[in-house]
Every structure is written in structure tokens, then in C-alpha cells.
Amino acid sequence: MTALCRLLILLLAAGFWHSVHAFQIETIAEGLEHPWSIAFLPDGRMLVTERAGRLRIIADGELMADAVTDIPEAYVAAQGGLMEVALDPNYTDNGWIYLTLAYGDRRGSATRLVRGRLQGMRWVDNQVLFTAEPARNRPVHYGARLAFLGDGTLLLTLGDAFDYREQAQKLDSHTGSIVRLNTDGSVPVDNPFVGQRGALPEIFSYGHRNPQGIVVDLESGLIWSHEHGPRGGDELNLIEAGQNYGWPVATHGVDYSGARISPYSSRPGMVDPKIDWTPSIAPAGMTQYRGRLFDGWDGDLLVASLVERSIRRIRLDGREVLSDEKLILPINRRLRDVRVSPDGALYILTDHRDGEVLRVSP
């Protein structure tokens, strides 16, 4: 472990007010190749994915030199590779760990969900649970974030592969959707499109561009997800079964060339976002704060930003957003993920070839 410990000042900018707080930021690990996701084991160890296809372990504050062996091979290209890591809600009983990865080759790839167990430094009992269809020949916009619902099912976000955005409006393709699965990969019988002719039964919601953050509030049952827009039009959405979230028919964003994608920012039968971020912030990982270490934060959403290189703190009141605050960390790095540790501290991943794991506390 790098024992560098810094006292840094974070500026909170929230529309009409500013306040300054002192937080302690500690570098837990460094030298990770584009770390993408982090999870906390009950014994105090941490799991970190590297997009380059490695699963790493941090134990007793030290990044172990060797990666976990026998991990399923990921297609590593552009935005593709090994992405999410998440523990089963019943991990202490069943030991299941879930991974998402890009599966395929340069001719075509798609988001794949697997699960397995750790046996020492080996990945064992690997099971392929789901592979998005169809495969696409553009290795970008995989989505690939996971969240578990209180009923024992899980949600997996899937992007539009950039060049296939019109497919996000179709129910015969997983492109640009959020799917709901049982934890063994089977389809829940109460999914909204089960039995509908021409619709894939896994689809829970559709009309998404590249959703890279999803949270289930287990107290209220509400599902929050955010997604990258193109140039502008990043969104925070309240996800409900069977709903259409508009992309690319309704968007606040424009193409990277400046050309208009759609004349509409809202359409009947399509759900409007709770937040539209224009200019783009490039939202990445998202978590909900549950704890007491940060006073007054319980229940707030925290969003890592790649472009702003900041954390957004979003206060909620039921189904509505009360405020959207920008926490600017004096770290000039892209922020890929943010999670809450069992002791209430924040863990942040910086998305670089020499990426870091940072611990943030009051």
C-alpha cells in the first residue's frame, strides 16, 4: 500500500451556495490499469477490477502482487474489458461473486454477465448467466453496471454500442436497455415484456444510451440510473418496469459534430429525466450513501464524473430530486467509480493507466 495520506479541501458547489469542508484522502492502492469497479468482502478484503481483464485483491491495506487466476477472458478493446464486480446479497451463505465483461472479438462483442467463487487466488465455479444480443462490431457503450433488487433479482445495464442507437427503441434487441434477471440467469416470470410477441423477455426498461450507474434504494424500492448522453444530455432517471426512456427520439444532447440528433427533448409515452446534465459530466459509477460517517448524507446518491473529475451528491425526497451538488476533489483525474465501505468511508477509483484506489473520510 502507498501510505500517502493527504488532507485536502473539497469545494461543494450547489447552484446558489458554496461551502468548504476538509476531508482526508488516503491513497490505498495505485498502479492499477484503468480500475473500473470495487467491492468489499466481509473479511475486510477488497476486490477491484481492471478493465485490462484482471481481478485484483487488496488485503490488509496492500494491493496483492498477483491477480486472481482463471478469470473468464474479456475482450479488451476501446471501452471493453472486465468491468463490474459485485457480491451476491447472500454472499456469506453462497459465496457468489458477479462480474460483467465484454465478450467476443473485433468482429462483434457484447456485454456478458458471469458469476463464480473465490478459492484462494483462483476463480472457480464459473457460470455464464447472460450475454446481450446481438453482438456489435463497435467495442463501446457496454453499460455493464449491476444492482440487486429486494426480491432477489438483479438489474444489468446495457448500452447502445454507439452506432446502433435506433435499436434502443426496439424490444427485439437488448441494445440500449436495462434487463432484469434471476440471480441464476433465468428470466423472472413477472418481467414486463414476458409473453409479448417480438420482445425479449429479459428487458425491464429501454430507450437508454449508455447507462453506467444504477442503484436500488432498498428502503423505498425505487431504482435510480444515470446514463451518458452524447454532447450534453447526460441523464439521471427513475427506472420503472416497461418504461421507455426516450433515446434517441428524445434527448437534450446533440451529436459530437454538433448536428441535431432529434428535434425533441420530450415525447408522449417517454419518461423525462429527473436531471439533465448539459454540458455533459460523463457520469460513471453511482452509489447510495448509507451510514453516519458523513453527517446528513444518509440516502443521498453519489455519482462519479469522468469529465468534471468530481463527485455529484444528489439529495432525494421520495421520487424527486431536491438538489444536485458538485464536490470538486483537487485530484486532476477521471473518476470511474465511487462506493461506500462498511465503515461509511467513500472509496473512489481513478480511471487511468496508473489508476488509484482512494479512501475519503471526514
Closest CA to 74 of 40, 105, 46: 105
Report how many domains make up the chain: 2
Confidence (pLDDT) at 2: 44
Look at residues 78, 107, 139 and tell me which one is the last residue of a structural domain. 139
In the block, residue with C-alpha cell 440516502: 299
294 assigned to some structural domain: yes
Compute the half-sphere exposure of residue 324: CA atoms within 13 Å on the CB side of its CA.
12
- What residues act catalytically? 141
341 assigned to some structural domain: no
Confidence (pLDDT) at 14: 36
Same domain membership, residue 303 and residue 171: yes
- Inter-residue contact 209 to 168 (CB < 8 Å): yes
Mark the ranges of the chain whose per-residue pLDDT is less than 70.
Answer: 1-21
Both ends of the chain: CA-CA distance in Å?
21
Same domain membership, residue 113 and residue 184: no
Looking up residue 178, the CATH number of its domain turns out to be: 2.120.10.30
Q: Which residues contact 195 (CB under 8 A, 6 or more apart)?
A: 201
Looking up residue 120, the CATH number of its domain turns out to be: 2.40.10.500
Spell out the alpha helix ranges (H) of the chain.
91-94
Same domain membership, residue 216 and residue 125: no
Confidence (pLDDT) at 19: 38
Range of the domain at 103: 31-139
Q: Which residues contact 76 (CB under 8 A, 6 or more apart)?
A: 51, 52, 53, 82, 102
Look at residues 121, 139, 157 and tell me which one is the last residue of a structural domain. 139
Same domain membership, residue 316 and residue 290: yes
Confidence (pLDDT) at 21: 58
- Inter-residue contact 78 to 105 (CB < 8 Å): no
Closest CA to 286 of 314, 321, 325, 308: 314
How many angstroms separate the CA atoms of 157 and 205, rounded?
Answer: 10
Confidence (pLDDT) at 7: 37
352 assigned to some structural domain: no
Confidence (pLDDT) at 22: 72
Q: What is the mean pLDDT of the chain?
A: 94
Confidence (pLDDT) at 65: 97
In the block, residue with C-alpha cell 475486510: 44
DSSP structure class, residue 187:
P
| Whether the bond into 268 is cis, omega within 30 of 0 | no
How many angstroms separate the CA atoms of 346 and 3, rounded?
Answer: 17
